[in-house]
A and B are shown apart, each in its own frame.
Chain A
Amino acid sequence: MFITPEGKEIFVVDGHTHFWDGSPENQKNIHGKQFIECFYAYHTGLSPKEQLWEKSKFEKYSADDLYRDLFVNGPDDVAIVQSTYLKDFYKNGFNTIERNAEVAKRYPERFIVNGAFDPRDGEKALEYIHFLKETYDVKGVKMYTAEWNGASKGWKLTDPDAYKCFELCDKLGIRNIHVHKGPTIIPLSKDAFDVHDVDHAATDFQNLNWIVEHCGLPRLDDFCWIATQETNVYGGLAVALPFIHSRPRYFGEVIAELLFWIGPEKILFGSDYAIWTPRWLVEKFWAYQIPEDIAAERGVQLTDEIKEKILGLNAARLYNIDIEAKKAALASSPFSIAAE
């Protein structure tokens, strides 16, 4: 719960969090080392300095750290914790669903655990989707198209094997597909951040919600175009939001574009914990105003009502969270005292 300076309670759904193990003990090779290095560079590059973590904690933090940073010191009411396996880089995987499910069990009512699969596994991927549904009753999955898998250095949402997986997701009611558009590596000669496969997949799977993390940046224009055409495409603010601290004017330009093109109903807050922690992000976001000249040019405003949608109401709608029921459940949870 975020309490505004005026005393209003804002329900916060953190659309993008992780519970990873990137420690040297778990690293399989140089790629695993470089992967967490890169995350750490994001953390140190865009966080306010008083929010910086030591490297060793960043590599592997505890379930208690996670709970405290999100719900006790942080304003989250519910967090969507994503799974990212990276088994080619990490011995036990980077952030598996088992790890996420364990922490979700420990702190009931707090987490929505999302699964992940790799369409390149073919039949096994389909079996795994069944397993995810039966074992964890997942409502969403995270797709990491830049993940390596043997000789393959990435895949597209439009690959035939991926379509088979999405057909199954549709059938089983796994409706929320979070897409991380990292640099797909192959073919090497191409522009590396193409988001157009989202367009095709979203058209072909109208029942599924496609949440494009960090709004497709650095292809914001392509993303806006697609999300304007496709009613089932959403933008996650992870990675874009931290610019509110280091480059507030730039963040204003990004959010103004998003509001102008896709509107306030389709933008979702996400901290990308543990790259960033939600408290400072939410505080700064609530206090933020788009610079006047940018707002005037695009004819948009970031009102309190819109902020409330972005911070929680939009994600609650996608994940069928009954906000009043959730508040009541949290109030009676054994952890509520710690959270106050």
Chain B
Amino acid sequence: MATASVSGSRENELWRRLGEVNDPELDEPITEMGFVERAEMASNGSVDIDFRLPTYWCSPNFAFLMLDGVRKALDQLSWSPAYRVKLHDHMFAEEVNRGMEAGKTFVDIFAELAEDQDLGALRETFRLKAFKRRQEAVLRGFRQHGLTDREILGMDLPAYDVARFETGEAANQKPRYRAALLERFPDRRADAPVFVTWEGQRIPTGALSAHLAELRSVRINMEFNGALCRGLKQTRYKELGVVDGEPTLVDFIMDRVPPRAAPTV
């Protein structure tokens, strides 16, 4: 049926776009983190999104960055639908929802609490962290594959594109690092080395281990957040019940899930 396939392909497009929005702090897609609790399309094409973070206390600036990302993703949909995005169970849910609906910026929403600063610097910090985390995964992947430090650091983009990882973090991060590299250095030469510092410096062969140690510390922090967020999200979304499928566990987990509509203070 024509309508069914149109709505099916639109739904694919919707999830694909949403999947391009990252949690800025974790550099992981919000769809994989399970933050998009519901994304529904009405028969007229309009879109309805429910968004929920792992805790009531998640930083409002991160929440805003993600929702802003969602807003931009929805603006790119090919059928230009009307949409509604709603943040649930968050300490600033009301302010954020009202502001988002009015198309306000972060500073407009939180004029007092944000101290008149824009999120630009914060966004830049997150871009840097994402660049480093992705780079570390790919560098370690190449090392594990037995490439020498000299071979790795001499690699240009065509060689990079030919290389393949079967599975694992390196496979996952390889296209993501490529995207981060091109975003960071749009005018780079095709034969320039693929692995450079965030500042664009070459990494001397003897310095790769030290460079990796620095990248590792960036990842440790991001992974901490990621692991916590996943753990907290699972319990908040009562997914823990499926672990080993023990009903006793399910019973009391079911009992603790916060009500959908927060009671008034």
Please list the residues of chain A having a beta carbon within 8 angstroms of any beta carbon in chain B: 29-31, 33-35, 37-38, 40-42, 44-46, 49, 52, 54-55, 153, 182-183, 185-192, 217-221, 224, 240, 243, 246-247, 250, 253-254, 257, 297-298
Interface residues of B in 54-79 (CB under 8 A from A): 54-62
Contacts of B62 in A (CB 8 A): 192
Report 25 cross-chain contacts, Cβ distance below 8 Å, ordered by A residue.
Answer: A30-B264, A34-B55, A37-B56, A37-B236, A38-B56, A41-B231, A45-B231, A46-B231, A49-B249, A55-B255, A182-B57, A187-B113, A187-B114, A188-B60, A188-B106, A189-B107, A189-B115, A189-B117, A189-B119, A217-B220, A218-B224, A221-B217, A240-B224, A250-B223, A257-B217
* Complex: A297 Cα to B220 Cα, angstroms: 15
CB-CB nearest 7 A-B residue pairs: A45-B231, A34-B56, A187-B115, A221-B217, A192-B59, A218-B221, A189-B114
User: B258 near A: Cβ within 8 Å?
Assistant: yes
Contacts of B56 in A (CB 8 A): 31, 34, 37-38
Q: A129 CB to closest chain B CB, in angstroms?
A: 28
Contacts of B225 in A (CB 8 A): 218
Contact B231 A246 (CB under 8 A): yes
User: B253 near A: Cβ within 8 Å?
Assistant: yes
Partner of B224, one of A153, A183, A190, A220: A220
Instruction: State how many residues of chain B have any CB contact under 8 Å with chain A.
Output: 55
Smallest CB gap from A40: residue in B: B256
Contacts of B102 in A (CB 8 A): none
User: B196 near A: Cβ within 8 Å?
Assistant: no
* Complex: A219 Cα to B225 Cα, angstroms: 10
* Complex: A294 Cα to B113 Cα, angstroms: 42
Contacts of A49 in B (CB 8 A): 243-244, 246, 249
* Complex: A159 Cα to B59 Cα, angstroms: 22
If A34-B56, A49-B244, A189-B114 touch, does A253 touch B216 (CB 8 Å cutoff)? yes
* Complex: A23 Cα to B252 Cα, angstroms: 15
Contact B235 A44 (CB under 8 A): yes
Contact B91 A186 (CB under 8 A): no
Partner of B258, one of A33, A42, A240: A33
Contact B61 A243 (CB under 8 A): no
Contacts of A219 in B (CB 8 A): 221
* Complex: A217 Cα to B114 Cα, angstroms: 23
Interface residues as binary, B220-246 with A (CB distance below 8 Å gives 1, 0 otherwise): 111111011011101110001001101
Smallest CB gap from B234: residue in A: A45
* Complex: A35 Cα to B56 Cα, angstroms: 8
* Complex: A247 Cα to B226 Cα, angstroms: 12
Smallest CB gap from A216: residue in B: B221
If A243-B227, A297-B213 touch, does A41 touch B235 (CB 8 Å cutoff)? yes
User: B218 near A: Cβ within 8 Å?
Assistant: yes
The interface residues of chain A, by DSSP majority, are classed as helix
Contact A41 B55 (CB under 8 A): yes
> Which of B107, B117, B243, B252 has the most CB atoms of chain A within a 10 A radius of its CB?
B252
If A49-B244, A188-B61, A218-B225 touch, does A42 touch B231 (CB 8 Å cutoff)? yes
User: B82 near A: Cβ within 8 Å?
Assistant: no
Contact B61 A221 (CB under 8 A): no
User: B209 near A: Cβ within 8 Å?
Assistant: yes
Contact A38 B244 (CB under 8 A): no
Contacts of B253 in A (CB 8 A): 44
Contacts of B61 in A (CB 8 A): 188-190, 192
Q: A193 CB to closest chain B CB, in angstroms?
A: 8
Interface residues of B in 16-68 (CB under 8 A from A): 54-62
Contact A189 B256 (CB under 8 A): no
Contact A190 B122 (CB under 8 A): yes
* Complex: A30 Cα to B262 Cα, angstroms: 7
Contacts of B114 in A (CB 8 A): 187-189
Contact A217 B221 (CB under 8 A): yes
* Complex: A247 Cα to B222 Cα, angstroms: 14
Q: A26 CB to closest chain B CB, in angstroms?
A: 16
User: B148 near A: Cβ within 8 Å?
Assistant: no
Smallest CB gap from A183: residue in B: B59
* Complex: A153 Cα to B115 Cα, angstroms: 13
Contact B220 A257 (CB under 8 A): yes
Contacts of B15 in A (CB 8 A): none
Contact B115 A55 (CB under 8 A): no
If A49-B243, A49-B244 touch, does A221 touch B218 (CB 8 Å cutoff)? yes
User: B125 near A: Cβ within 8 Å?
Assistant: yes
User: B118 near A: Cβ within 8 Å?
Assistant: yes
* Complex: A240 Cα to B236 Cα, angstroms: 21
Q: A149 CB to closest chain B CB, in angstroms?
A: 15
User: B206 near A: Cβ within 8 Å?
Assistant: no
Partner of A188, one of B55, B110, B209, B255: B110
Contact A220 B217 (CB under 8 A): yes
Smallest CB gap from A55: residue in B: B256
Contacts of B209 in A (CB 8 A): 297
User: B162 near A: Cβ within 8 Å?
Assistant: no
Contact A45 B113 (CB under 8 A): no
